[in-house]
Amino acid sequence: MTGLEDNTRCSLFHKFEGLSKDKQEERRIHFGVNSIPVHVSSVIEILLKQVMSPFYIFQMFSCALWLSDKYYYYTVSLLVINFFSIASYIYQTRKMQKALRDTISMSTTVSVCRGGQVYENVSSEDLVPGDVIEIPRRDFMMQCDAVLISGNCIVNESMLTGESVPMTKTPLPRNNEEEIFNIKEHARHVLFCGTKVIQTQQQGHDKVKAIVVRTGFSTTKGGLVRSILYPKPVDFKFQRDSYIFIGLLAVIGATGFTYTMTLMIHRGSTVKEIIIRSLDVVTTAVPAALPLALTIGVVFAQSRLKRRNIYCISPNCINVSGTINVFCFDKTGTLTEDGLKLQGVVPVSASRFLSETESIEELMGGHLYNAMASCHSLTIIEGETTGDPLDLIMFEATACHLTDADQSYSQFSFPVSTMVQLPLSQKADIDMLGIVRQFAFTSNLQRMSVIVCEAHKEKLTLYCKGAPEMVASLSKPESVPPDFHDVLRSYTKHGFRVLALARKDLNKIQADTVQKVARADMERELEFLGLLVMENRLKVETTPVIHQLREADIKTIMVTGDNILTALSVAEECGMVDNTDDVILVQGREPETDSKANLQYTFADSEKVATEILSKKGNLKFALDGKTWAIIRQHFPEVLPKIVLKGVVFARMSPEQKAQLIESLQDLGYYVGMCGDGANDCGALKTAHAGISLSEAEASVASPFTSKTPNIECVPTLIREGRAALVTSFGIFKFMACYSLTEFTSMCILYWASQNMSDFEFLYVDMFLLTTLAVTFGRTSGYDYLVKKPPIINLFSVGPVLSLLTLVSVQICFQVFCFLHVQKQNWYVPLVSRWEYDYISYQNNAVYLMSCYQYIVLAIALSKGEPYRRSIFTNRLFVLNILTCTIVTIWLTMYPGEGAMTFFELKPFPSIPYRLMYVGLAIMDFCICVTLEDYVLSQTLISYKLQEKIEDCLIGSRHTYDLLEEEMLHDDWPSISHQQPVKLSCTQTKLSSSQIMRFDTNMTIQSEIDGQDNVQDYVINSNVRC
């Protein structure tokens, strides 16, 4: 249900005077209570939900059957394990729900306007859309989404965006009567639910007021809570295949059921005995402990990640992270350092660039200096200047001081919100600037502006700061140096971050209209002042990690909000793009009345324009910006998959566009990872198969993984451990399946002779061998390096299927041999039962002992090491477990003793050499299984080549990106334009084609700046123009 965020004119918000109590009650019936309730399930509710799952129903059925068969020991053990497992699950679930409830559920008292100047304190739960609320002076937690209509607010939105830097919210403009309110476009004027208002700033004597537009789950915070409570399910092929495979085991169990029932009916057994024995075979074929065993590798991987400062809130994503073949990276704060260094300032004088200077003091008294001192969103919080790091660096370079405006700003002719104290200087006749109004930075506008007045003067000046190409497009063409593109390119191609500054005199603005005038009317016909050059260095860990990923054939992509040339420079520096790549810049043009939308493809390297032949052999790479991305999505959807397939740099991308890119990669069949600093990457982090946040803010809840170490070294670590966990899951699955089928075989063979294993024989296998081996199996950590081939994720691919069938066949052959061979010995005596469950016989001994060795052999053979896991010898607990199980089984074979014989109901062979033969058979079984698994079935010819041949024959089995890659090798797309992409940067702006052409015409290349021009001349000229 929507509130006031849809189809409401912006001007209407300024006409709200408050709701009466009756009107508020009426709306509360319609919109409901303003709260985000988090349901905490009762113990009974969670218990019933858990035990009613098919897995637990089957387990309870198995336990009931085993109890009726007097198999108490293992049944009780399994029930105890399940009890603690369910109790732990209930505890953790309720603990998480309570923590989430305590974090989210919050109520406070709010002052609500009832009309005029009448205010009433009510509970925040009673708020409805349309209420006019007063924002307190400090430390107020928003309980709804509200539009600010008067005063300024400094807020912390870290819970929603991950950005802990305070932001300034300004009142919603009232200039355009017909403008429709859009909560995304007007986000700088909206106080979102869940954000903290650090402090407010009044404009004159007016209260700081806001209009409630959304409440409850309809708020931004409510949407985030919904995504936490009901996360997007991870569609993972291994999980789907595992369910199918369990179904196949059930079919095998049904076959055993029929086999057993036929035998026992033929022998005249009782109905009870027939039912119990037949169903017992089914419970053996489908391992009841399989789901528990499958989580072992994930649990150990999660603990290993935690030791490396990588925290996981979605363990199911660990296995998925092992399949990642594309990884996307944000640039600033992820690939590059958080902090920027002011490289220098490039002033403009008489429409010409002067030489770069690092001495900001020389600029004092000029408009460029004043722009650096005032055009920012910094605030004073508890006596400390805080805000965007870039703004801080720029402001601190001016040596100015920021102070809050109070009632003693009589030296200003206009009400001001913040004052800037300029340092004493002989070059300037002013000592203080007052910020009258601020137009906040937005990613779609790519700029911010402030309206400033000087102390004791009635003149207003607008200063604008933003992306160079955007600021240049808003400036008078004659004020922009003709070599603007060349100079800008010279900086951005070397990885510098460049901002432009501009100004405009506002001589006709009066005090009563300064807060009402439209932003678009102010930010045009500017005078270009110069460039601010920042250095953003790569983190030392970035380049080695990128090279490591590329060597492992993991596609790396940069998706950033920065300039495309800067992004390309960083991509080249860190190794995402190398010298052999043909990087093509894609530039989109919007449709006009006389032309259609079109795409232009040019070489990023101008030297390749006329000399190089475009390579189609995998070296083609695309770079584009957010505007071109939007044009392609709207007008050229057939080109989008090719762009996504070969794209390496996506610049000027909005948060929504980043998420769109992730989804497009997933549509091609890629498993996509995303690493960002949590500021504008929340959507992409949530959309990706494995998102890693480098931010410790609350927004990290949007990401399955959070790294406490703020660099991308966590990426290969996560992939290595994910691959290890995935291979472990595969190994445990095959081990459990082989165990079930091996035990199933033993039971079918013994049933043929009207025998079975004793309860303690079952207990030794199920508890001592199976449980301990399955637990220690998963403790092997990930391999130290990433290899090119990712692990297999298809349980029904050639490798796993052949492995399972071959290994089980080998075990069947050995058991059948032992069962038949023991009967041919001269000391063999057939079983003569002395009581109902008397199974003490040579046949039982032969089959049982052989199967015990087989479980150990299977655990070793299926415990893969390189190239995805380290050697099993590094898993000391597993090796110790193997040795212990082997020694105990050899002891039971050779010299069990009277106590063991009685306990296990064994009948040892009278011949010592015959006993030794079983040890030899175990060694032979070991050699055959290890040879088949490690040197035959796991070879590339079997695992990959044969699989590829089968996929080629099956329609729809190949990945979309493989088919598209082949298609691109045989077509003539794209058609490269043989023009140098010199003026690429002007395509970043939201200009029409005609504007761009006119803009470029006025920017013909100018000769080199005369050496006599300097910064001092610029300051003098600037003062003269004043």
pLDDT for 371 equals 94
pLDDT for 957-980, tens place per residue? 678 888 888 888 887 788 876 554
pLDDT for 270 equals 85
Q: How confident is the model at residue 835 (pLDDT cuts 50, 70, 90)?
A: low
Are the C-beta atoms of residues 549 and 787 closer than 8 Å to each other? no
Say which amino acid occupies 1002.
N
| pLDDT above 80 for 820 | yes
For residues 112 and 115, give the distance between their C-alpha atoms in angstroms, rounded to a whole number. Answer: 9
- Residue 582 annotated as catalytic: no
Task: Give me the mean pLDDT over the 77-83 stretch.
Answer: 78
pLDDT for 1013 equals 39
Least confident of 138-147, 258-267, 322-331, 407-416: 407-416
What do you get for the CA distance between the two ends of the chain, in Å? 54
For residues 523 and 449, give the distance between their C-alpha atoms in angstroms, rounded to a whole number. Answer: 8
pLDDT for 464 equals 95
Are the C-beta atoms of residues 400 and 373 closer than 8 Å to each other? yes
| pLDDT above 70 for 339 | no
Least confident of 160-169, 506-515, 575-584, 888-897: 160-169
What is the total residue count of the chain? Answer: 1026
| pLDDT above 60 for 699 | no
Q: Which of 89-98, 290-299, 329-338 has the highest mean pLDDT?
A: 329-338
Least confident of 279-293, 431-445, 609-623: 609-623
Return phi, psi of residue 701, to 5°.
Answer: -65, -20
Q: How confident is the model at residue 41 (pLDDT cuts 50, 70, 90)?
A: confident
Please, is 663 exposed, middle or buried when counting C-beta atoms within 10 Å of its C-beta (0-12, 13-18, 19+)? middle
Are the C-beta atoms of residues 942 and 802 closer than 8 Å to each other? yes
Task: Give me the mean pLDDT over the 847-863 stretch.
Answer: 94
pLDDT for 131-189, tens place per residue? 999 999 888 999 999 999 988 888 887 666 555 567 788 888 876 677 888 887 888 89
pLDDT for 542-601, tens place per residue? 999 999 999 999 999 999 877 787 788 889 889 999 888 888 999 998 888 778 888 988
Task: Give me the mean pLDDT over the 293-322 stretch.
Answer: 84
For residues 945 and 708, give the distance between their C-alpha atoms in angstroms, rounded to a whole number. Answer: 41
Per-position b or e across 520-559, b if 16+ CB within 10 A of its CB: eebbeebbbbbbbbbbbebbebbeebbebbeebebbbbbb
For residues 179 and 442, give the distance between their C-alpha atoms in angstroms, rounded to a whole number. Answer: 18
Per-position b or e across 676-687, b if 16+ CB within 10 A of its CB: bbbbbbbbbbbb
Are the C-beta atoms of residues 478 and 996 closer than 8 Å to each other? no
CA angle 811, 894, 740 (to 5 degrees): 25
Who contacts 774 (Cβ-Cβ below 8 Å, separation ≥6)? Answer: 289, 293, 296, 732, 735, 736
Task: Give me the mean pLDDT over the 813-820 stretch.
Answer: 95
Cis peptide before 974 (omega within 30 of 0): yes
**Order of strands across the sheet with 109-113?**
119-123, 109-113, 132-134, 209-214, 145-150, 190-191
Instruction: State the virtual CA torsion across 1013, 1015, 1018, 1020 in degrees, nearest 10.
Output: -110
Task: Tell me what percent of the residues of the chain surpass a pLDDT of 90.
Answer: 30
Q: Which of 345-349, 430-434, 704-708 has the highest mean pLDDT?
A: 345-349
For residues 680 and 672, give the distance between their C-alpha atoms in angstroms, rounded to a whole number. Answer: 18
Who contacts 381 (Cβ-Cβ below 8 Å, separation ≥6)? Answer: 154, 166, 198, 199
Hey, CA dihedral for 567, 568, 569, 571, is it positive or negative?
A: positive
For residues 966 and 382, give the distance between their C-alpha atoms in angstroms, rounded to a whole number. Answer: 61
Computed over every residue of the chain, the mean pLDDT equals: 82
Tokens of 291: 């789901």
Q: What is the Rg, in whole angstroms, of the alpha carbon atoms belonging to the chain?
A: 36
Who contacts 44 (Cβ-Cβ below 8 Å, separation ≥6)? Answer: none
Beta strand extents in 14-163 (DSSP E only): 109-113, 119-123, 132-134, 138-141, 145-150, 152-156
Hey, CA dihedral for 249, 252, 257, 260, is it positive or negative?
A: negative
CA angle 907, 911, 912 (to 5 degrees): 100
In eight-state DSSP terms, residue 309 is: T
pLDDT for 408 equals 53
For residues 867 and 942, give the distance between their C-alpha atoms in angstroms, rounded to a whole number. Answer: 16
Are the C-beta atoms of residues 653 and 661 closer than 8 Å to each other? yes
Task: Give me the mean pLDDT over the 493-510 stretch.
Answer: 85
Q: Which of 26-35, 382-391, 543-552, 754-763 has the highest mean pLDDT?
A: 543-552
Beta strand extents in 299-446 (DSSP E only): 310-312, 326-329, 341-349, 352-353, 379-381, 384-386, 401-404, 418-421, 432-442
Say which amino acid occupies 922.
A
| pLDDT above 50 for 325 | yes
| pLDDT above 60 for 1005 | no
Task: Give me the mean pLDDT over the 262-267 stretch.
Answer: 86
Q: Which candidate in 131, 145, 280, 330 is catalytic?
A: 330
For residue 500, the SS3 value is: strand
| pLDDT above 70 for 930 | yes
| pLDDT above 50 for 1016 | no
Please, is 953 exposed, middle or buried when counting C-beta atoms within 10 Å of its C-beta (0-12, 13-18, 19+)? exposed
Task: Tell me what percent of the residues of the chain surpass a pLDDT of 70.
Answer: 86
pLDDT for 445 equals 78
pLDDT for 880 equals 96
Q: Which residue has the tokens 């196949």?
A: 248
Q: How confident is the model at residue 992 (pLDDT cuts 50, 70, 90)?
A: very low
